[in-house]
Amino acid sequence: MQYQWYPGHMTKAKRQMQEDIKLVDLVIELVDARIPISSHNPDIDTLGRQKSRMVLLNKADLADEAKNQAWCDYYKKQGIFAVRLDARNRGGMKDVQSVIQDACREKIERNLKRGIINRPVRAMVAGIPNVGKSTFINSFAGKACAKTGNKPGVTKGKQWIRLNKQVELLDTPGILWPKFENQIIGMHLAYIGSIRDEIVNREELAFELLKELLERYPGLLADRFALSAAQTPLEALEQVAKNRNCLKKGGELDTEKAAAMLLEEFRSGKLGRITMEEPRDRADVSMDDQ
Ligand code: G4P
Residue pair 138/88 in contact (Cβ under 8 Å)? The answer is no
25-29, 154-158, 220-224: least confidently modelled range: 154-158
Instruction: Establish whether residue 267 lines the binding site of ligand 1, counting it when its CB lies within 6 angstroms of any ligand atom.
Output: no
Q: Residue 141 pLDDT > 90, yes or no? A: no
* Residue from 34, 121, 37, 48 nearest 85 by CA: 34
Question: Which residue, judged by its Cα, is nearest atom 18 of ligand 1?
Answer: 132
Return phi, psi of residue 92, to 5°: -80, -5
Instruction: Tell me the per-residue pLDDT of 194-241, one tens digit each, with 9 for 90 and over.
Output: 987 777 899 999 999 999 999 999 999 999 999 887 789 999 999 999
* Residue from 133, 134, 132, 120 nearest 162 by CA: 120
How confident is the model over 33-61, as a mean pLDDT? 94
Q: Give the single-character DSSP code of 147.
A: E
pLDDT of residue 1: 53
**Mean of pLDDT over the chain:** 87
* Residue from 132, 155, 158, 174 nearest 15 by CA: 174
Question: Which residue, judged by its Cα, is nearest atom 17 of ligand 1?
Answer: 132
Out of 17, 57, 95, 130, give the residue to mutate to test ligand 1, the one with the largest number of ligand atoms within 8 Å of its CB.
Answer: 130
Determine the number of helices (DSSP H) and then strands (DSSP E) in the chain: 11, 8
Out of 35, 90, 135, 176, give the residue to mutate to test ligand 1, the one with the largest number of ligand atoms within 8 Å of its CB.
Answer: 135
Instruction: Measure the CA–CA gap between 285 and 279, rounded to whole angstroms.
Output: 10
CA angle 211, 216, 217 (to 5 degrees): 95
pLDDT of residue 289: 46
- Percent helix / strand / coil, the chain, rounded to 5: 45, 15, 40
Q: What predicted TM-score, i.e. pTM, was given to this entire model?
A: 0.90
- CB 245: neighbour CB atoms within 10 A? 10
- CB 246: neighbour CB atoms within 10 A? 20
**From the CA of 123, how far away is ligand 1's center (Å)?**
21
Percent of the chain clearing pLDDT 70 (strictly above): 89
Relative to beta strand 159-162, strand 147-149 is antiparallel
Instruction: Measure the CA–CA gap between 137 and 168, rounded to whole angstroms.
Output: 12
